[in-house]
Amino acid sequence: MKFAGYILTYTIIRILHALPDRVLYFFSDGLYLLAYHLVGYRKKVVFENLARAFPGMPPGEIRAIARKFYRHFCDLVLESAVSLFFSRVEAQQKISCKNPELVEGLYQKGRQVIAVTGHYGNWELLPILGLLFEYRTIAVYKSLRNEYFNRFILKSREKFGATPVPMEQVARTLMDFRQKNILTLSVFLSDQRPLRRQIQYWTRFMGMDTPMYLGVEKLSKKIDAAVIFIKIRKVRRGQYEAECEMVCEDPSVMEPYQITEAHVRILEGLIRERPELWLWSHRRWKFTRDDPGG
């Protein structure tokens, strides 16, 4: 059954990739009508998250942001699917970097780099950065249950120059590259919700108490890596621009939690800039400080 599902999905995505963009986004508009108006995909979660993040905002404005989010989310789903079949030329046409000189400067200094971003814009295009920089780009991933999809996605990442590394192996892998004097740029999503037993730090994020992973902070100090934040803005449908912002160049001089607080504040500002581009459909605030083990 897994293989049959893979073949069916593969065929559909292959057909979608062959379609002109205007037809692809026609399907996205149809998917929006289905997800928002007919099925109401995670609608309760989306509206609850928005209302908690923007207290006092009139209901009409909340609904307007929600509708924009669903339209972007449907674009994101289809864009991410067809990106698996992008050629190198197609890939480079989908995302550009506003200030590549920041990363290039770190490379010239011989610095390891950890890049942080969030579920904002189209984070699925990040492996394409492997085509833009001289760094060995590390794409940290969580293995899928379907082995066929897992192999296919890993293969698509590799063709863009990225080296896929399982989450549980990333620390050891980066240490190995560092010992071999291979400069790496590793990409991490900073806004994933930790498992209850893995919560190590709480901060205020979008006005709410929020548990955070400390992996970026700990790893940057362990391998002496500069930390940057990559802001992925949507220019128009199917076109994104990445802007790099320095979080810290020397992690050894940073106080505990200072790196984490810095990249959280950058993401928060980005979300407030265009809230519809963040992933409001995930239960980011499932836990509270009073939860047992939380």
Phi-psi region of 224 (alpha: psi -120 to 50; beta: other; left: phi over 0): left
Q: What does 257-284 look like in DSSP terms, one character per residue?
A: THHHHHHHHHHHHHHHHSGGGB-TTS-T
Nearest Cα to 16, choosing from 80, 88, 104, 92? 80
Q: What is the SS3 assignment for 101?
A: helix
Average pLDDT (16-42) is 95
Considering only 17-21, 93-97, 130-134, 247-251, which range has the smallest mean pLDDT? Answer: 130-134
At residue 13 the predicted structure's pLDDT band, cuts being 50, 70 and 90, is: confident
Write the DSSP symbol of residue 126: G
pTM over 0.85: yes
At residue 5 the predicted structure's pLDDT band, cuts being 50, 70 and 90, is: low
